[in-house]
Amino acid sequence: MREVAAIGVGITKWGELWKKSFRDIYVETALLALEDAGVDRIDSMYVGSMSSGLFVGQEHIAALLADYLGQTPVPSTRVETACASGGLALKLGYMEVASGMSDVVLVSGIEKMTDVSGNEATYALGTAADQEYEGYHGITFPGLYALIAVAHMEKYGTTREQMAMVSVKNHKNGTKNPVAQFPFEITVDQVLNSVMVADPLRILDCSPITDGAAAIILYPAELAKKMGKPVVKIIGTGHATDTIELSQRTDITWLNATYLAAKSAYAMADKKPEDIDLVEVHDCFTIAEICVTEALGFIEKGKGGEAVEQELTAIDGKIPVNPSGGLKSKGHPVGASGVAQAVEVVKQLRSDCCDRQVSDARIGMTQNMGGSGASAVVHIFERE
């Protein structure tokens, strides 16, 4: 298989984009990636999107977006695996270039979530859970992650304050990200006194409803070197699944799909957790970041809360986690989040992140997951 490089990235301001349509958001972002890459054609495109039908009433978006980008008859594929749709789109794009089927592949993710009411958005997101055994009984995703949080607190002594510190850290990072939806700092007290959503999780423990897109251009690494561009390669990828129903897991505090996906990515890249200079993880809720850092092997099992309190996951810490601000501050347009993580890591490895730049970053990782962790995709990147 060929080595694969990311040669162009694009991301626009995220938030409540009332004046932009679904297709406009996509085209604007994709054009930025094409311009950054310096290419004038693509051979194939993948679009990660979880619920365009429920959020904007539009299916068949692969053809729609190829059309509005002016790229027909290029083959276009829509990818869905809940909130990990973007990460899986990146894996499929990587496979297409690595196999030699295509040279220039546009991988993107998009969601426009604010065109529906809060109740409708909650329903759409809930379709990523088990509808017969979870959704039917009324539980929502905040409720599922609240169960994980309570179990983690009971089993390991994780505190409510430690979870709040995840949000505080990510908002601090987000103040330095010009595309973040909520680029402002918050305090632990503000988190602890914000509106209760599902005990013990409060509104400032939860990622927001977001409109946004992200895009990345993949290219054979050998050809990228001849372009005279910074070469950031994808050197490892892993993908795994778990039971969709939380109650069927042996230990709900352990994200086994993330663990197995990371294990595959580490093996493929011939790297270990201590080799990673920064990581973008799926912090849909504060407890999620704590559990993910443990499953990826950065933090001892049960010690994720302590690691945040000790600032081991700060930008200048032992393992910088979510220098972009994460889903919590940057936003979470569900189908786009996995691609946006890759955009951040590529920019970090190119030293393009200004005030939030991780010092001497050479190897980065992304972890994107769907639902309550039933699907997970992990990628490892390296700068030559």
User: Strand 232-241 relative to strand 211-220: parallel, antiparallel, unpaired?
Assistant: unpaired
The verdict on whether omega for the bond into residue 73 sits within 30 degrees of 0, i.e. cis, is yes
Please say whether the beta carbons of 287 and 143 come within 8 A. Answer: no
| Active-site residue list | 83, 332
Residue 23, SS3?
Answer: helix
One-letter amino acid at 332 equals H
Tokens of 118: 């809060």
- Burial (CB count within 10 angstroms: exposed 0-12, middle 13-18, buried 19+), residue 356: buried
Tokens of 351: 């030293």
Tokens of 20: 């932009």
DSSP secondary structure letters along 112-160: E-TTS-HHHHHHHHHTTS-TTTTGGGT--HHHHHHHHHHHHHHHH---H
Please say whether the beta carbons of 293 and 319 come within 8 A. Answer: yes
Compute the distance between CA of residue 328 and CA of residue 180 in angstroms, rounded to an integer.
9
The verdict on whether omega for the bond into residue 220 sits within 30 degrees of 0, i.e. cis, is no
Residue 216 makes CB contacts below 8 A (sequence gap 6+) with: 6, 8, 9, 10, 33, 90, 93, 106, 107, 108, 339, 342, 343, 346
Please say whether the beta carbons of 372 and 151 come within 8 A. Answer: no
Residue 377 makes CB contacts below 8 A (sequence gap 6+) with: 81, 84, 87, 88, 90, 91, 237, 238, 239, 261, 338, 366, 367, 368, 369
Residue 248 makes CB contacts below 8 A (sequence gap 6+) with: none
Tokens of 376: 């997970």
